[in-house]
Amino acid sequence: MARIINEPSHTFSEYLLLPGYTSEECVPDAVSLKTPLVKYKKGQEECPLSLNVPMTSAIMQAVSDDRLAIALAKEGGLSFIYGSQSVESEAAMVARVKNYKAGFVVSDSNLTPEDTLADVLELVRTKGHNTLAITSDGTANGRLLGIVTGRDYRVSRMTPDTKVKTFMTPFEKLITAPADTTLKVANDIIWEHKLNSLPLVDDEGRLVYLVFRKDYDEHKSNPQELLDAEKRYMVGAGINTRDYETRVPALIEAGADVLCIDSSEGYTIWQKRTLEYIRRLWGDKVKVGAGNVVDREGFLFLARAGADFVKVGIGGGSICIPREQKGIGRGQASAVIEVAQERDEYYRETGVYIPICSDGGIVHDYHMTLALAMGADFLMLGRYFARFDESPTQKIQINGTYVKEYWGEGSNRARNWQRYDLGGAGGLSFEEGVDSYVVYAGALHDNVEKSLYKVRSTMCNVGVLNIPDLQQNAKLTLVSATSIVEGGYHDVMLRSTSKPNM
């Protein structure tokens, strides 16, 4: 008969941390959240890739594009650009992230002089910034004819059909620089002329890059930025087990720092073959994670197959329904605890430390700290990031509340059948994800800052200043259903209907 695991499958909400001794040195500002991203020989060499904060964004259409990747890298985390798009489109997103931090930004907001104020306002709404390049053909590399910023128009005094050519700052009034201008010289020009941006153009007058004053300012105000050796933002990319022979080389060429096989279930021959292909062609030079798994056997399979990190979790995501559809999965807390135990045993036996990523099951901010204490090296978050300005979905109003669209990769909307590939014919036979909304939460920076302050504060309550010490010294207790009720407000009448930001 089937092997029965009699212990219940637990979620994060069924656990609490016990406080430890807090010394005077144990303050949130002293806590380090740096954590390994890929495998290394612990004690013998440094981890080749680390995160400054233990956050990665999920490989989803509704979450991880180049804009969110840039915003998260500024905070010290890393995005995995979604792979359920063409190879060319995904590679272009990766390239835009890598080009962005170099200071030379390829314009993503472009119009022609014949476009209208309505077109300007729509671009500002969708892109979130108001520096628009006006080119001869409306492309990022067309002949530059002018620039439009928020100072060039007043909505209250202009009609939507007003032509861009009537209010743009024309080329002859712009300060520009040659395409081969160095970043230092470009910044000097910006400061000397008190500019917000500097267009770089080639000998034919075509726009090549924009350099922004805010990039210099942001670098000074974001000491946690996740940068590569060339001071560019780091970015990951999702791949699948079908077209990897085409997708992987293109993503490497585009500059992806790390790859991840995006699949609902990682204990498969298809992931093993994908990992073997990468190791055969690039050895250990290309870093690639795999998953998802929920037990010891799954972790060992992927570790032996060559994974640089292993994702843990099946069915715990807010839009994932494989447990409902197929009866497969495991409570996220139970999965993380068991896989972390096997990760540690594997390290003792081999000397190789393979980080694990907890993917799914995070409902409240404190769940992040619990997942780390249970052994996760970093987290992958979907719903959390989908709520922010920088996610690629629309912000709309429903019944007086602003929301953002959010759908699963296994939903009919995404139709990412490659993620659920079991070797048969292509196609999505049934849904393993839903199409939904999440309550809009504002800017990524503000929310991440608040969430991570809670994590640091909780770690101080436990009496630790870094993630390894949290994993070694934390004490966790299971809680009863009654205890869970006791943990929230009860037996009172609230004076306000507002709820804490989660």
Structure tokens, 275 = 């990992």
Structure tokens, 358 = 């907890």
CA distance 89 to 95: 10
Indicate if 213 belongs to the active site.
Answer: no
Q: How many CA atoms lie within 13 A of 99 on its CB side?
A: 19
Asked whether 75 and 448 are in contact (CB, 8 A), the reply is yes
Residue 360: Cβ within 10 Å count: 25
Q: If phi over 0 gives left and psi between -120 and 50 gives alpha, with beta otherwise, what is residue 324?
A: alpha
The contacts of residue 482 (CB under 8 Å, 6+ apart) are none
Q: State the Cα angle at 140 between 168 and 233, rounded to 5°.
A: 115
CA distance 286 to 288: 6
Select from 211, 147, 134 the least CA-distant residue to 177.
Answer: 211
Residue keyed to tokens 């009866």: 327
Indicate if 320 belongs to the active site.
Answer: yes
3-state class of 35 per DSSP?
strand
Between the alpha carbon of residue 55 and those of residues 52, 99, 249, 362, the distances in Å are: 9, 22, 26, 12
CA 148 to chain CA centroid, Å, is 30
Select from 130, 119, 113 the least CA-distant residue to 212.
Answer: 130
Helix ranges (DSSP H) in 11-144: 66-75, 87-101, 117-127
CA distance 85 to 89: 6
The contacts of residue 66 (CB under 8 Å, 6+ apart) are 81, 93, 94, 96, 97, 100, 235
By residue count, the chain amounts to 502
CA distance 34 to 50: 7
Structure tokens, 168 = 């743009």
Q: Which of 26, 260, 320, 357 is catalytic?
A: 320
CA distance 209 to 198: 8
Q: For residue 403, which amino acid is it? A: V
Asked whether 404 and 437 are in contact (CB, 8 A), the reply is yes
Structure tokens, 334 = 């139970």
Select from 207, 214, 225, 235 the least CA-distant residue to 130.
Answer: 214
Asked whether 176 and 206 are in contact (CB, 8 A), the reply is no
The DSSP-derived string for 227-273 is B-TTS-B--EEEE-SSSHHHHHHHHHHHT-SEEEE--S---SHHHHH
Q: Which of 330, 419, 456, 460 is catalytic?
A: 419
Show which residues are catalytic. Answer: 320, 419
